[in-house]
Amino acid sequence: MSSKFIAVEFISAAATILILTAVAVFVALVWGLVWVWLPYGVVAIVLVITAAFIPRRVRAIGYQLRADDLLFRRGIMWQRFVAVPYGRMQLIDINRGPLSRAFGLADLKFVTASASTGVVINGLTDADAEALRDHLVAVAESRRTGL
């Protein structure tokens, strides 16, 4: 994962806090509902604590190309390991949101026949995402021919 992905996640968290602050100020000033500050404060504290763990959460994302499959992992407390066999890959998609595109990053998404195998590798550089996609498509086509 690119270290730029940490900045993208921080900017996303800051934008969420700003939007929630604007909504809370609007509700408090326009309708005079002072009690709105209590739920806003709780949500803001949770978002700040979550933002503190962004660097560790990004470092917990990884993948490994093995002989027969791609192994993907993510998570700190609740870890998820998914092995996607090359021959089962049906679609490999690259997504670039506006913020990720500004930082030169992309997300690689794998689609298989199984609905529960939704794997998205976030925070790859554009060049890495395209090279990995091309490699996986070539390997997947060679594995499918043997089925």
Contact (CB, 8 A) for 28 and 36: yes
For the record, the structure tokens of 106 come out as 């992309």
Which of 30, 18, 14 has its CA nearest to residue 99?
A: 14
Sheet with 119-125: strands ordered across: 89-95, 105-112, 119-125
Tell which wins on pLDDT, 142 or 132: 132
Q: What distance, in Å, lies between the first and last C-alpha atoms of the chain?
A: 33
One-letter amino acid at 7 equals: A
pLDDT score of 135 more than 80: yes
- What is the model's pLDDT at position 146? 52
- Kindly tell me if the per-residue pLDDT of 116 is higher than 60: yes
- Domain 62-144 in CATH 2.30.29.30? The answer is yes
Give the pair of three-digit tokens for residue 134. 């091309």
Over the stretch 26-82, which tens digit does the pLDDT of each residue have?
988 888 888 888 999 999 999 999 999 999 999 999 999 998 888 999 998 899 898
Give the chain's mean pLDDT: 89
Residue 145 pLDDT level (bands cut at 50, 70, 90): low
